[in-house]
Amino acid sequence: MTDEYLNIRQMGDRYEVTARTLRFYEAKELLSPIREGQKRLFTRRDQARLKLILRGKRFGFALEEIRQLLDLYDMGDQQKTQLGATYETGKGHLETLKARHGELGEAIKDLTAQLDWAEKELTTL
């Protein structure tokens, strides 16, 4: 098996995902491996798409958003449409992440204060 094609186990090992995840992404039409009976062979295109899927998930993109953005690759305009749509979607997600970051900072500060208080109370009991 060359690097051009990976079976499901190799794909899972390389990208640290389960076979179940890969089958799920296939069912959601995010990946389209070559099928030889029960065997799935993932091409370089599938590998590139999986990298983008995993990055999109890390950034908070919904799988449907990711699928729609990936589908724009074949528009024939040197990926201008895909890049523009990804940029706009990404800007929205960045704002969401920044807001969540601020909220998490406040929650961490509050929980730290509560734990400090509880620790002092426990030492006096």
Q: Name the pLDDT band for 8 (thresholds 50, 70, 90).
A: very high
| Lowest-confidence segment of 55-64, 68-77, 90-99, 110-119 by average pLDDT | 68-77
Q: Return the DSSP state at 67.
A: H
Q: Between 7 and 4, name the one with better pLDDT.
A: 7
Whole-structure pTM over 0.75, yes or no? yes
Instruction: Quote the CA–CA distance of 25 and 90 in Å, as a whole number.
Output: 21
Asked if pLDDT for residue 54 goes beyond 90, the answer is yes
Please report how the helices 44-58 and 63-71 are oriented relative to each other, as an axis angle in degrees rounded to 10: 140
β-sheet bridge partners, residue 40: 35
What are the residue boundaries of the structural domains of the chain, listed by start? 1-58, 64-125
The architecture in CATH of the region 1-58 reads Orthogonal Bundle (1.10)
Neighbours of 42 (CB within 10 A): 25
* Helix or strand run (H / E) with residue 60: none
pLDDT band at 75 (very low <50, low <70, confident <90, very high): confident
Q: Provide φ and ψ at 16, rounded to 5°.
A: 55, 50
